[in-house]
Structure 1
Amino acid sequence: MIQLDPWALFEIGIPAASGGVAGVVGVTVYRRLRHGDARTGLARPYVVLAVVVSLLGIGYAGLHAATPLWNLPLGSGILLLAVPWTTFAARYIGIGRYVTLGRVFAGILAVTVLVGVNVFGRLIQEGWITTSLVGNEALQTLETAQSVVTLALLTLVFGLIGGVVVATYRHDRLSTVQGLLVVLPIAGFIFTVQTTRPATPLLNDVLIGSTFLVVAAGLTLGVTRYDVVTRVPATRRLGERAALTETDEAIVVLDDRARVVRVNEPAERMFGGAQTLADVTDHSVTSLTEHDTITCRTTAGRRQFEPSVSPLVDGYEETFGYTVMLIDVTDREIRRQRLAVLNRILRHNVRNELDVIRAHAEEVDLAPAVDGVDRLSALSEQARRIQDLMERSAADRTEVRLRPHLEAVVADATAGVSADVTVTAPDVSVTIDPERCRYVIDHLVENAVEHNDGESPRVVVRAERTEADVRLVVADDGPGIPESERAVIEAGGETPLEHASSLGLWGTNWAVQSMGGSLSFDESDLGGTAVTVSLTDVAVLDA
C-alpha cells in the first residue's frame, strides 16, 4: 500500500522528478542532434546516458513504492550507466578511436549479464527463489565472475574519470566545472552505493534522493550552460595526435640519450628502422639547433633536411627527451643553389659579355644593337637589385620618419623628369625596412611617370594610418597598369601565355610580401591606377 505522507512523497517524488528532467535533457540533445547542432559521437551516448538516468529515477520510485527491492536500481544503475558514460567520456577526451562498435556491443552484453546476476542474487536474498535452482557452487562461480568483471569495469570508469578531469583542467578554454559535470552521473551513483547501509534507511533516502537530484541538475547544466556535446578537450588531444601522425613532415621522438622512442609514418618511411639519432644523421641533438640544414641518411639516399628541435621538459625543468621535426628541403636547396649560380652568371658573366658587345656595336655605329644591350644591362641590374633586397633579413628594420622618407624617395625617382607629384603623409615614425620600402615606392612612382604620355604626369603618393595597418597609395592619371599584368601578380604565377612584361612589378610584389604586407590594384581618382601597399606588421609612433 503506497503511503502518501510527505516523507513518502519525498522518497518517491524526487527520484521520479529527477528522472523526468533527465528524460527532457535526453530529448533536447536528440533534437539538437537531428538539427546538426551537436557532435554525433558525443550526442548519441549522452542521449542514452540521460535516458538511462531517467529510467533509473522512475524505476527506483516505482520499486520503492510497490516492492521491497527499492535499492536494486542503484547497484544495477552503475552497470547500466557504464556503457554510455564510458563511450561518451572516451570521445570527450579524444580517445574515441578505441570505442568500436564491437566493443560497445561486448560492453552491453557484459552489463546485461552482470545486471541479470545482480537481480538473480537479490531475488535469492529476498527469498523469492531458492539456490536449488542453480546450485550453490554455480552461484558462487557466478558471483566470483561478477566481482571480477565489475572490478575491471570500475577500473575503466575511474581511469576515465581521471582522464576527463585532467583533460578539461589542461584545456585553456574550458572550465574545470565542465569536467566535474561530465563525471557526476557515474561518480554520484558510485558514491551513493558505497555509502548507503541497511541500518540507516533515513540517511539512505536522503542520499539517494540527493543523488538523483544532483545528477539530473548536472546533466541539464552540462547541456545548457557548458554544452558538453560540442565543446570538449578532445580538440587538443586530437590536434596533438594529428600533428604527429597526419603531417607530411618526418617527426622523431628521442629520449635523453638520443634513442628513438617513436616516429610518425613519414619518418618511418624515410628512415626505416632507425634506433638512434646516429642512424639518421651525424649530428648530435645539440648541433641540430646550430644548423639551418643537415644531411640525413634516408631509404632514398642522402637528402637535405631543415631540423627543428623541441625539448621535452618535466615539472622540475629537467629534459627527458626531444621531439625532432625534419623537413625535407633537398629540392628547395637545389633550387636555391641553381638560382644562386644563375644569378651569378646574370650579374657577372652576362654583364661582362654585354659590355664587350656594346663596345663593338658602338665602333660600327649599330644604334639598335646598343639600345638592346642597354636594355639587357638594365634588366640585369634590376635583377641584381631585387636579389639583394630578397637576401635582406626580416629583422632589417629601423625607425624612420614616414613623410620625409617618402619625399626623399619621390625626389630621387622623379629627378630630371617633368611630373606633378604630391606627397601627403601623417607626421609619424614607422618601423620598416627602409630599403625595401624605397624600392617599392621608387618603382611605382617611376612606373607611373614613365608610362604616362602626358606632358606633366600627375602622381599622388599618400600614406594612411588605420587601426589595422599602414597603407601607402601611389595613384596616377596615366593609362594604368594593364589588366593582364595585374592578373598575373594577383594570381601569383606566370604561364607561357600570361606573364608580366618586366621584373619591376614582380620585384615590388616580392618586396611588399617580405615586409609582411600585400599589394592591391584599383582605379585612381585621377583616372589611372591606384596601387595600395598594406603593411600590417608595422609599429607606428607619433613624431
Structure 2
Amino acid sequence: MIQTGALIVVLALTAGIGFAVGLLAWQERPEPGATSLSVFMAGQVWWAAFLAFEFQATTLAQRVLWSNVQWIGVVVIPVAWIAFAFSYTGRDEYVRWRYIGVLSIIPAITIGLALTAPYHDLLYTEASLLEQNGLVVLHKEPGQWIWVIAVYTYLLAIGGLVPIFALVKSENLPFRGQSLALILGSIIPWTTSILHNLGVTPIPGFDPTPISFAITGVAFLGALSRFQLLGTNPSPNFRARRLVFDQMDEMAVVVDRNDHIVNLNRSAESMFETDRDVVLGSDASSVVPQYRELVRDPDGSTEISTEFGGTKRIYQGTVTPIWDFHDRKIGHVLTFHDVTDYVRREQRYQVLNRLFRHNLRTESQLILGQAERLAAEHDAVDSIKARAKAIENIGDKARDLAAMFERDTDPDQMVEVEAVIERSVATVTSEYPNATIHDSRPEEPVEVSSLIETVLCNVIENAVEHNPAPEPRVWVSANSTDGRVRITVADDGPGLGEYEIETLEEGSESQLKHTSGLGLWLIKWGTEIAGGTVSFTERDPEGSIVTLDVPASTSSNGDT
C-alpha cells in the first residue's frame, strides 16, 4: 500500500534535487547550455510540485485543475532539453529565438488546450478518481492531442540525445563522463513516460515520470560535481574545428568517395566564386579545375590556374585522403595554396637573370671588340659610348624593377593621373627632343598607384627609342570609368614583334623565345603589381598601342 504522505515527500525531494541542479546551472551562466539546463530543471520542478498539490487535493475538480497546470512544466522540458544539447555540444547556431519559437508552437498549443480543458476533449475525454493500492489517483482517458504531444516530446528527446551520444567515444575523460551522466539522466524519465503511455506501469492511471526525474537530478548533480559539467564542455572544441576550417587562408574542399562535394570553406567559396549551398552535392570536377589530375596523384601536388576577381591566380593543390575507423577510404580533402606571387617572383627573377647574363655579356663583348678597333678606326669611340650607355640603361631599369619588387607587398602610394602623364612626357621629351608627344588627360581628378609613373615613362620611352623615324610621334591619353583608369600609348613606329608579346604572356624567357630587353618586362610587372593589366595591339596603319588598365581612386582636392 502506498501512502499519499510518503509520495508527497518523494515528490518534494525530487523537486528539491531539481531545484539544486537548476540553481547550480544558473550560476554557471553564460557557459554554453547553462540557461537551457536551468529551464529544463525548472520544468521538472514545476511538474513534481504541482503533482504534489494534485495528491493533496480532495475533490475531482481540484485534482483536474492541478493536473492541467502541470502541463506547463511537462512541455517546457523537451524544448529546453534539445536547446541544452545543441548549446552544450557547440551547435548553438540552432539555438536562436526563431528556432525556439518554432519548436514551442506545439507545446504552446498544448498549454492552451490544458487551460481550456473543460470546454473540449482533445486532451482527455473523461476524468475520474480511482483507488489503486490504497492510493487515490486521477484517472484520465487520453484524447487525440495526447498522442501528438507525446510523439513530439519523444522526437525532441531523441534529437537532443544524438549529439550527446557522439561524445561517449571522446578521448577526453570529463566529456565521456558528462555524456554518460546526461544520457542516463535523460533516458530514464523518457522511458518511464513511454511505459506509462503504453499502460505498463505498476499503478494504472498514475504517471511516475516526475518521480523518475529524481534520478535525473542525481545524475546531473554528479556530472556537475564529478565531471565539471558546464565548467568544462565540448562546445569550444566543436566550434573551433569549424572555425579553423572556415577561417583558414587556404582553400579547402571536402569530397566523398563518389567525387561529390560535401563541404568547402569560405576561402574556397571565394576562389571558385560560388556559394556553399549551391555546390554541395555537385560533382567535384564541375567545380574544381583539373580535379581529375589532382586526384590521380594524391601523394604529390598540382598547380592549377583559375580566374579570381578578374585576375589569373595560380594555386598549388594537394590531396589528403580521409579514412574511417576501419581504415577504409571514405573521401579526401583538397587544399589549395595561393602561390601566384611566388610563381611570379620566380618568373621575374629567372627573366632578370637571363637578361642580365645575355644583355650584359653581349654589350661587354661589343665594347671589347670596339676597343680593339679603337686605334685604327675613329668611329669605334662612338660605338663604345653607345654600348656603355646601353649598359647604364640596363642598370637603371634593373633598379626600377628591384624597387617595384619591394613594393609588391607594401601599401601603395596613390598619385594623380594628370601628374603622372605630365612628368612622364616631360622626362621622355628631355631625353629625346626630336620626338613629338601628344597627350590628353582625364577631365575629373583620379588617382592610380605611383608605380604607374615608372611604367608609363618606360612605355613612352620604348615607343620613341625603337622608332627609326627622325621625328617619332607618340599619343598618350587616359580615361576613367567604373573605378578603373585606362592609359593608352600609341605610336607610329614598327610595332612589337608577335614573339615578344607571346613571351610576355607566357611570363618567362628562353634562348629561342625572348624580348629585346628589360623595358617590356618592367611595363608588364609594374602594371601587375599595381593591380592592373597591360595589353598590346597593332595601330592602323602602322605602329602599336599599349593599354594600361589599373584600379583607380577618386581624389578630392589632391588628397587621397
TM-score by length of 1: 0.52
1:308 counterpart = 2:339: no
Taking the TM superposition and a 5 Å limit, the aligned residue runs for 1:71-220 are 78-117=74-113, 120=117, 121=121, 124-126=125-127, 143-144=143-144, 147-148=147-148, 150-170=150-170, 172-196=172-196, 197=199, 200-201=202-203, 211-220=212-221
Instruction: Call closer, same or farther: CA 1:58–1:239 in 2, change over 3 Å.
Output: same
Aligned residue number for residue 245 of structure 2: 244
Deviation at 1:330, TM superposition (A): 1.2
% identity of equivalent residues: 20
Task: Report the counterpart of residue 410 of structure 1 in structure 2.
Answer: none
Per-residue CA shift, 1:401-420, capped at 9, x if unaligned?
xxxxxxxxxxxxxxxxxxxx
Change (3 A) 1:333 1:60: same
Q: Which residue of 1 is the match for residue 554 of structure 2?
A: none
Q: Which residue of 1 aligns with 2:332?
A: 322
Alignment of 1:268-283 (within 5 A): 268-272=269-273, 275-277=283-285, 280-282=288-290
Q: Are the equivalent residues in 2 in contact too, given 1:78–1:186 (CA < 8 A)?
A: no
How far residue 16 of structure 1 moved from its aligned partner, in angstroms, is 0.6
- 1:446 aligns to what? none
Please state if 1:58 is matched with 2:49. yes
How many residue pairs were aligned? 336
> Which residue of the partner structure matches residue 48 of structure 1?
39
Conserved? CA contact 1:60–1:71, under 8 Å: yes
- Which one of 28, 49, 55 corresponds to residue 32 of structure 1? 28
Amino acid at match of 1:284: E
CA apart distance, 1:58: 2.0
Q: CA RMSD in A?
A: 4.3
1-structure distance, mates of 2:201, 2:288: 69
Structure 1 unaligned blocks of 5 or more: 129-139, 355-543
Q: Which runs of 5+ in 2 are unaligned?
A: 130-140, 365-560
Look up the SS of the partner of 2:233 in the other structure: coil
CA contact (8 A) 1:288 1:307 kept: no
1:413-465 Cα offsets, whole Å, 9 max, x none, are xxxxxxxxxxxxxxxxxxxxxxxxxxxxxxxxxxxxxxxxxxxxxxxxxxxxx
Question: Residue 11 of structure 2 contacts residue 49 of structure 2 at CA under 8 Å; is this kept in 1?
Answer: yes
> Residues 246-302 of structure 1, C-alpha deviation per residue, up to 9 Å, x if partnerless?
323211122334343433232122223584337533352344544445123233454
> 1 CA distance for matches of 2:324 and 2:172?
19
Q: Is the 8 A contact 1:90 1:160 kept in 2?
A: yes
Question: Residues of 2 paired with 1:199 and 1:262: CA distance?
Answer: 48
| Structure 2 residue identity aligned to 1:258 | D
What secondary structure, in the 3-state scheme, does the structure 1 residue paired with 2:228 have? coil
Report the Cα offset of residue 114 of structure 1: 1.7
User: For the residues of structure 2 that align with 1:321 and 1:269, how far apart are their CA atoms?
Assistant: 23
Structure 1 stretch displaced more, 216-225 or 193-202:
193-202
- Structure 2 residue matching 1:126: 3-state secondary structure: strand
Instruction: Please say if residues 14 and 209 of structure 1, whose CA atoms lie closer than 8 Å, have aligned partners that are also in contact.
Output: no
Q: Is the 8 A contact 2:26 2:35 kept in 1?
A: yes
Cα offset, 1:223, TM superposition: 2.0
Superposed CA deviations along residues 102-128 of structure 1, whole A, max 9, x for unmatched, are 222333342132244357356652159
Opposite residue 310 of structure 1, the aligned amino acid is T
Q: Deviations over 1:311-362 (max 9, x none)?
A: 22334433232111111121133335556777899999999x99xxxxxxxx
CA distance in 1, matches of 2:165, 2:243: 22
Alpha carbons of 1:156 and 1:292: their partners in 2 closer, same or farther (altered >3 Å)?
same
The code of the aligned residue for 2:192 comes to T
Equivalent residue number for residue 413 of structure 1: none
Q: Deviations over 1:363-382 (max 9, x none)?
A: xxxxxxxxxxxxxxxxxxxx
Change in Cα spacing, 1:167 to 1:347, as seen in structure 2 (3 Å) is farther
Question: 1:169·1:179 contact (CA, 8 Å) conserved in 2?
Answer: no
TM-score for the superposition, normalised by structure 2: 0.51
Larger deviation, residues 115-124 vs 157-166: 115-124
By how many angstroms is 1:222 displaced? Answer: 2.6
Contact 1:93–1:163 under 8 Å retained in 2: yes
